[in-house]
Amino acid sequence: MNVERLDRILIAVRDLGVASKRFSDLLGLKFDEVRVDEGQKVRYTRSATGLELIQSTSPDGAVAKFIEKRGEGLYAVILKVSNMRSAIEEMQKKGLQLVANPRTGGLEEAYFHPRDSHGVMIVLCEYESKHGATIAESQN
């Protein structure tokens, strides 16, 4: 499997506003606007450093269940890969259970059950990388 880089680290939180302010104060990070993913039942915000804070929008959502069982904290590690099909096959051959494989626009992700990786959900992602000017232009 060709892991290109660590893409993001997700931290499950109870209150996105409180958590983003705390991490901003502690680390000097700036977070993007809050986004909502109705399908995943979450609200989230990201920093340019790859720290993503995620809050459940529903008591029956996966993030809410995670926090209820384990408390706030590390929810997932997301790794960017260059060939999703091959990477999924390799992870499954190594005994990891694929639990979801959504595609949203140009982003494809593959979620693997945390019980197979010491309690940390591993998520693979694949998307076409863009250079800085293209990213900046798309934010207008």
Q: What is the dotted CATH code of the domain comprising 3-138?
A: 3.10.180.10
pLDDT > 90 in the chain, percent:
81
Residue 139 has pLDDT above 80, yes or no: no
pLDDT for 138: 58
Quick one: pLDDT band at residue 42, thresholds 50, 70, 90? very high
Q: Give pLDDT tens digits for 75-122.
A: 999 999 999 999 999 999 999 999 999 888 888 999 999 999 999 999
d(CA 136, CA 139): 5
φ/ψ (deg, to 5) at 51: -85, 125
β-sheet bridge partners, residue 108: 103, 126
Residues in the chain: 140
* pLDDT tens digits along 47-67: 999 999 999 999 999 999 999
pTM: 0.85
Q: Quick one: what percent of the chain has pLDDT higher than 70?
A: 93
**pLDDT of 129 above 60:** yes
- The SS3 of residue 62 is helix
